[in-house]
Amino acid sequence: MEVFRIGYSFLLSLFLLLLVHAPSAQLVPAETRILYRVQQFLEYPDVLKGWNNWTNFCSLPQSPSLVILCSGNHITELTIVGNKSSPSKVSKPSAANFSIPQRTLSQGFSIDSFFTVITKLSNLKRLSLVSLGIWGPLPAKVDRLDSLEVLNISSNFIQGGIPPEIATFKNLKSLVLADNLLNGSIPDLKGLSQLEELDISNNPLGPKFPSLGNNLVRINLRSMALRSQIPPDFIKFSRLQILDISSNKLQGPIPSFLFSLPSIESINLAKNQLSGELRASVSCHENLTFVDVSNNLLIGMLPSCLASNSKNRKVIDSFNCLSKNTSSKYQRPSSFCHKEALAVQPPTRKQKERTTVKLGLVLGVIVAVVAIIAVLGVLVLVVYRRLERNRAKEYKCESFVFDKNAAHTSPVVHGRHVPRTMRIVSLNLPPYHVFTLEEIEDATDNFDAANLVAEVSQAQIYRGWLRDGSAVLVRCLKLKQKYSPQSLQQHMEVISRLRHRHLVSVLGHCIVTYQDHPNTPSKVFIVLENVANGSLRDHLTDWRKREVLKWPQRISIMMSIAKGIQYLHTSGVIGNDLKIENILLDESLSAKISSYNLSLPSKVGSESPLNGQDSSLSSSKNTDKDDIYQLGVILLEVITGRPIISPSDIDDLKLQLEICLAESPSKLKDLTDLSIRGTFAYESLKTVAQITISCLNKESSSRPSIEDILWHMQYSVQVQEGWNTSSGNLATKF
């Protein structure tokens, strides 16, 4: 009897033990298949390698790298943390449509297809995909996850803008997109009424400060591209505890109410352009334990609650222009902050003009009601003249009106008529625009030294942002008063029509004349599209980028350059400064020529507004065959991957190429860049090598035409494509 009682107790205990450890939920088969698809899309990261057909996902143990929670046979939380580097820890790529070996998922990855699968987890409330090498633009279909409360896709390589659909999540409490490559303006996020945490730091987003809901507790907008003032709406953020908007270009005064918000604990405003003096009456909330206002343009004395560190509050105020009660001895002279603050603030003259315009409008309405039409006309004339006098204090910006007959004739460049096809606007480019001086100053932040990119012959180049948020380059050229208005007008008209997918196109211009020389242009600003993916030289010298440029990509780039040159030659533009560092690559690795030449019918020694060179020399000495030779030099460097510094390098490499072609295919292989070996058909490479040697002929008359080059390039492309599809049956594989 005792033995029976013991056996019964043992069986009962075993049953209860099995019951306790039984899985609490079993996934529906559809979601199990989705997880296997996710594993496949993410290319089997270490954290997911243990999955197999017998894995019970709902009972997997939680870890910092993997969390899967289920409810009612459905996944409600999916957290996957990989080990790939983020953009802030490696050299940032600017490309939007290619991967980086060892850093991102492979080139075959599709973020759109990936999120198509993820969004089928309709019960998901928490989604975290961190450091997994995900790349590409965030698709709008992410809004299908309408139950989400937490979305964290940080430390990846996600590019493009934040889709506006993000703002439709009604239950979202945490949005973390930090440390990606997101750019452009930030959508209105006020619709996220439940949002408590926002972290979109380390992304070039801006320039306007985002519209946010006042339920936020933590805000991190560090290291972005914000170029505005701190909005007054922050006074409504009663729950805000942590605010980090450091390392931007925020301007204007610091709102005093920030330090006394009801829940505030930490404020980081470092490394901005905040200016002015904090009032002595500013108070700090008792919960405020950390304040960093260093590296700004603050003057005067700190308020008493920030004047010194205590055991409960740390204050960092170095590298301002503060006096007396600061805790840091590292302060700049007050003159520095005054000068820099004036540079980043709009000029007072503009503010007066805006005030005068508003007053004139109000006055015009009143006069329209109570006065006769003649009196109204006189008043409008007086207001108009007053505005013109204010606007012309130092200089005036003129926009020449093109001749109405220009639509029926073609401008002449180098003695050739420019074809009417030049008027076609390239794809994805805005219409040509004649800018005002105020727009140019706005774009360059009043020519802030931080935006100066380069100084070339007689010109300065600034990085800028138009009012729609798009990035541009602004070339500022001071003329030597040697241009007639007519010649400059013709030059600008020709520039406005030069648009092609393989040229860095001019988006607009502004011509400035001084008041004492109203008929003589003294300065011209040329606004160009910004191709931010680097030059062909950059891609051939950086090993990470060079690995992306296999032979098919290099043929495509060479073809793009040749098409750009053909367009220039057809348009009468010759004598171009074709160098490999002046060939820029866009996001799809398509080449754009940035250094083409346009000369003016003017005196010797004058500059071309486009490139700052001596235009008369380029028009008289250079020919289309010089462009062909320079193209040959570029082709030589693309084939060999070796930088060409001097003319002797050209001669040496050309001779080696001729010998290799004459001897054997294996010799030619040994001369090529290591990165393209195994990716080319021999006949394709041989064709490009032969046309390269022809381009480098010492006798200019023996060099091929650009049409001949394009024919050989096209043949090379066809051979390569045939080799790709037939796995090397068309030609020898290396």
Q: In the numeric block, which tokens belong to residue 169?
A: 């999540």
Residue 421, Cβ density class (10 Å: 0-12 exposed, 13-18 middle, ≥19 buried): exposed
Q: Computed from CA positions of residues 478, 481, 482, 485, in that sequence, does the dihedral angle turn out positive or negative?
A: positive
Domain assignment present for residue 500? The answer is yes
Checking phi first, is residue 102 left (phi over 0); if not, alpha (psi -120 to 50) or beta? left
Burial of 197 (0-12, 13-18, 19+ CB in 10 A): middle
Evaluate if residue 120 carries a pLDDT over 60: yes
Domain end among 311, 330, 345: 345
| Same-domain check for residues 488 and 629 | no
Highest mean pLDDT: which of 200-204, 277-281, 371-375, 437-441? 200-204
> For the residues of 682-723, what is the DSSP string, one character each?
HHHHHHHHHHHHHHT-SSGGGSPPHHHHHHHHHHHHHHHHHH
Report pLDDT for 30: 86
pLDDT at 729 over 60: no
Q: Are strands 181-182 and 218-220 parallel, antiparallel or unpaired?
A: unpaired
Confirm whether 712 is domain-assigned.
yes
Give the model's pLDDT for residue 309.
Answer: 66
Domain count, the chain: 5
Q: Which residues pair with 220 in a beta bridge?
A: 199, 244
Q: Are residues 469 and 352 in the same domain?
A: no
Residue 360 has pLDDT above 50, yes or no: yes
Residues 331, 402 within the same domain:
no
Cis before 207 (ω within 30): yes
Q: What is the pLDDT of residue 475?
A: 87
250 burial (CB, 10 Å; 0-12 / 13-18 / 19+) is buried
Would the pLDDT of 600 be above 50? Answer: no
Are residues 362 and 331 part of one domain? no
Q: Quote the CA–CA distance of 603 and 616 in Å, as a whole number.
A: 7
Question: How is 104-139 classified by DSSP, letter by letter?
Answer: S--TT--HHHHHHHHTT-TT--EEEEESS--EEEPP
When pLDDT is averaged across residues 373-390 and rounded to a whole number, the result is 58
Has residue 501 got a pLDDT over 60? yes
Average pLDDT, integer, range 160-168: 92
Better-predicted residue by pLDDT, 511 or 556: 556
Q: Is residue 608 part of a domain?
A: no
Q: Same structural domain for residues 182 and 310? A: no
Choose among 526, 598, 462, 511: nearest CA to 606: 598
How far apart, in whole angstroms, are the C-alpha atoms of residue 463 and residue 442? Answer: 12
Q: Which amino acid is at 94?
A: S
Q: Which of 650, 648, 647, 655 is nearest to 636 (CA)?
A: 650
Q: Which residues pair with 321 in a beta bridge?
A: 299
How many Å apart are CA 256 and CA 280, to the nearest integer?
10
Same domain, 273 and 323: yes
Long-range contacts of 101-104 (CB under 8 A, 24+ apart): 101/544, 101/547, 101/548, 103/133, 103/157, 103/544, 104/133, 104/134, 104/135, 104/156, 104/157
64 and 133 both lie in a single domain: yes
Of the residues 208, 242, 273, which one is the last residue of a structural domain? 208
Give me the percent of the chain exceeding a pLDDT of 70.
75
> How many degrees, rounded to 5, is the angle at CA 592 between CA 586 and CA 593?
150
For residue 584, which of 604, 564, 605 has the smallest C-alpha distance?
564
Task: Decide if 308 is inside a domain.
Answer: yes
Highest mean pLDDT pick, 168-177, 539-548, 716-725: 168-177
Does residue 533 register a pLDDT over 90?
no
More confidently predicted of 523 and 389:
523
Q: Is residue 586 one of the residues assigned to a domain?
A: yes
Residue 212: CB atoms within 10 Å? 21
In a shared domain, residues 633 and 573: yes
In a domain, 1, yes or no: no
Give the structural domain span for 726. 533-593+623-734
| Cα–Cα distance list, 511 to 320, 399, 445, 520 (Å) | 37, 6, 18, 10
**Which residues on adjacent β-strands are paired with residue 314?**
290
> Quick one: pLDDT band at residue 519, thresholds 50, 70, 90?
low
The CATH code of the domain that includes 402 is 3.30.200.20
Least confident of 352-361, 444-453, 456-465, 646-655: 352-361
At which of 326, 345, 364 does a domain end?
A: 345
- Alpha-carbon distances, residue 170 vs 24, 76, 164, 174 (angstroms): 29, 17, 14, 12
User: Would you place residue 409 in the very low, low, confident or very high pLDDT band (cuts 50, 70, 90)?
Assistant: very low
> With bands split at pLDDT 50, 70 and 90, how would you rate the model's confidence at 447?
confident
Same-domain check for residues 711 and 636: yes
pLDDT value, residue 239: 95
Is a pLDDT exceeding 50 seen at residue 673?
A: yes
* Sign of the CA dihedral running 94, 98, 99, 101: negative
**Which of 97-106, 163-172, 418-427, 663-672 is most confident?**
163-172
Q: What percent of the chain has pLDDT over 90?
A: 39
261 CB contacts (<8 Å, ≥6 apart)? 234, 235, 237, 238, 240, 285
pTM (predicted TM-score):
0.49
- Structure-block tokens of residue 508: 């607009």
Residue 708 placed within a domain? yes
Query: For the chain, how far is it from start to end, CA to CA, in angstroms?
Result: 84
Residue 251 CB neighbours (<10 A): 21
Answer whether 593's CB lies under 8 Å from 582's CB.
yes
For 76, phi and psi rounded to 5 degrees?
-115, -20
For residue 620, what are the CA distances in angstroms to 489, 574, 604?
A: 22, 10, 11
Asked whether the CA dihedral 519, 521, 522, 525 is positive or negative, the reply is positive
**Distance from the Cα of residue 641 to its chain's centroid:** 27
Note the residue count of the chain: 734
Which segment, 82-96, 600-614, 668-682, is predicted with the most confidence on average?
668-682
Looking at the fold, whether 121 and 57 belong to one and the same domain comes out as yes
Q: Which residue has the tokens 């309405």?
A: 365
Residues 509 and 575 in one domain: no
CA–CA gap between residue 561 and residue 634 (Å, rounded):
10
Residue 14, pLDDT above cutoff 60: no
Q: What is the pLDDT of residue 621?
A: 52
Residue 95 has pLDDT above 90, yes or no: no
Structure tokens at 434: 């004649």
Is the same domain home to 380 and 339?
Answer: no
Place of tokens 């053909």: 566
pLDDT, residue 511, reads 82
pLDDT recorded at residue 428: 65
Name the average pLDDT for the chain: 80
Residue 31 sits in a domain whose CATH number is 3.80.10.10
pLDDT digits (tens, 9 = 90+) for 97-113: 456 777 889 888 999 98
The 3-class SS string of 244-260 reads: ECCCCCCEECCCHHHHH
Position 2 in a domain: no
Calculate the dihedral angle through the C-alpha atoms of 34, 35, 39, 42, rounding to the nearest 10 degrees: 70
Which letter does DSSP use for residue 86 in this model? Answer: P
pLDDT exceeds 90 at position 616: no
Per-residue tokens: 120: 């089928």
Confidence of residue 319 (pLDDT cuts 50, 70, 90): confident
Residue 398 banded pLDDT, cuts 50, 70, 90: very low
CATH assignment at residue 686: 1.10.510.10
Would the CA dihedral through 377, 378, 382, 388 be positive or negative?
A: positive
pLDDT in tens, 34-83: 998 899 999 989 899 888 888 889 989 999 999 999 998 899 999 999 99
The pLDDT, as a whole number, for residue 23 is 43
Pick the closest to residue 532 from 560, 552, 504, 555 (CA basis).
Answer: 504
pLDDT over 70 (residue 645): yes
Mean pLDDT value of segment 640-667: 90
More confident site: 314 or 7: 314
Q: Give pLDDT, residue 395.
A: 40
Q: Is the pLDDT of residue 284 over 50?
A: yes
